[in-house]
Amino acid sequence: MGGLLTTAVAAFLGQSAAFFGVVGLIWLLTWRWGAGRLAGRRVPVRGKAFDRAQLIHELKHSVVTLLVGGGLAVALGGLEVAGFARLSGGLGPGGAWGAALTVVGLVLGNDLWFYGVHRMLHTPWLFKRVHCVHHRSVDVNPFTSYSFHAVEAALLTAWLVPVALVLPLPAPVLGLVQGIGFANNLMAHLGYELLPAWWLRAPGLRWTNTATLHSLHHTRHRGNFGLFTRLWDRLFGTELEGYAEAFAQAHRQDPGHPQG
């Protein structure tokens, strides 16, 4: 038990340092020091503008999410101690190629899990009691990325538990997948569209998430439920209209970035 507690504390402190260090720096670079230079790349927003009360709300709930992350580390550690999970320090079966395929599989699996959970959280009962914490932020910014109710944070990360029961999880692979998820979540809540104007014309890339795509979700609520890709929203008919126009608008208003 002492070892698991140590793991939880270490996970919480490590994730907290990474989150507040990286996200705080990104927030300063975009929302403070670079606000004037990046003004032309702000995503279109309809609703309550960012203010100090929103920031305090996001910081408080970010700590809650980080505590849930520490709990997940305890759960995975407990499963390993009990012999139900296999966490290794290497790249796992198949070496680098096997690790790469595992990363792709975990990202796509997480994408589907997130879509299902996210869409469920938009049912009236759960939205009112749980998901409204995240949607208090309409004008999203980097600190919105971890601003969740504890129940939502647990649901969104719970996919790792059944995966750990079935598959061997190399620690470097797991760390990389979590890093990809962190970077994607930060980008989606940046509040600025920094991807180039040609992004939606590029095969493959046009199917990925963007700051504009997720910002539309925060202003309209009724669609764009995906995490990494547009795949599930397109497949199930939940992608919001006007995405391409909003993406283009975030570039047309920036004189420093010519079209194309």
| Ordered per-residue pLDDT tens for the chain, 260 residues | 566 677 777 778 888 998 999 999 999 999 999 988 898 899 877 778 899 999 999 999 999 999 998 888 888 888 888 888 887 777 767 778 888 999 999 999 999 999 999 999 999 999 999 999 999 999 999 999 999 999 999 999 999 999 989 888 888 898 899 999 999 999 999 999 999 999 999 999 999 999 999 999 999 989 999 999 999 999 999 999 999 999 988 887 655 554 43
At residue 122's C-alpha, the angle toward residues 130 and 195, to 5°, is: 100
pLDDT at 98: 84
Q: Tell which phi-psi region holds residue 59, choosing left (phi > 0), alpha (psi between -120 and 50) or beta.
A: alpha
pTM of the model: 0.90
Helix (H) or strand (E) holding 44: none
Q: Are 170 and 92 in contact (CB under 8 A)?
A: yes
Q: What is the pLDDT of residue 6?
A: 77
At 122 the three-state DSSP class reads coil
Contact 216, 172 (CB under 8 A): no
- What is the helix (H) or strand (E) element at residue 87, kind and residue range? strand 87-88
